Amino acid sequence: MATKYHNLSEYDANTLPTAEELAGKKFAIIVADWNDNVTHALCDGAVETFISNGISEENVEIYHVPGTFELTFAASKLQKTGKYASIIVIGCVIQGDTPHFDYVCQGVTQGITQLNAEAVCPVIFSVLTTLTMQQATDRAGGCLGNKGVEGAVTALKMVKIFGNIK
């Protein structure tokens, strides 16, 4: 998690897979369009990170869903295709005055955890759960980096670790 003490957008590219290890691998990014000023910036960070680390644009597929809660369904469907080395889910839930925040955050967290336990391919959790819009924008390319970058780095590291395991 990005904090004011640690910017997770900074990483050592030497810890990531080589171009040979990534050859032919496809990645999916599922983006919730709710709070799109934040989620689209996170998606841009993820795409830029993939490209700067040798993934061609054709091997990064982006899917849009209405909100964060729908990320689990979309990830489940894409995971079952067997097409992707990793899937990143990107969303942003900002706490309001009702318990809706708690239900959405808990539901998507449990859903993505379940998909990872099923081990078809890793699903990377790049969902911001913040108290304010400012906290979200700080983590979407602002003063605390871009959690989309972190998601792409995590996806690449998971491929490096588990890419050849069937």
Tell me the domain boundaries of the chain. 24-162
Answer for the pair 151, 90: CB distance below 8 angstroms, yes or no: yes
Element counts in the chain: helices (H) and strands (E): 6, 6
What integer best gives the mean pLDDT of the chain? 89
pLDDT band at 165; cut points 50, 70, 90:
low
| 40 part of the active site | no
Q: Which of 6, 40, 64, 100 is catalytic?
A: 100
pLDDT at residue 130 above 70? Answer: yes
| Residue 93 host element (H or E) | strand 86-94
pLDDT at residue 158 above 70? Answer: yes
Q: Report the half-sphere exposure of 34 (CA within 13 A, side-chain side).
A: 16
Report pLDDT for 4: 60
DSSP helix/strand/coil, 139? coil
Share of the chain above pLDDT 70, in %: 92
pLDDT band at 74; cut points 50, 70, 90:
very high
24-162: CATH topology is: Rossmann fold (3.40.50)
Report pLDDT for 3: 58
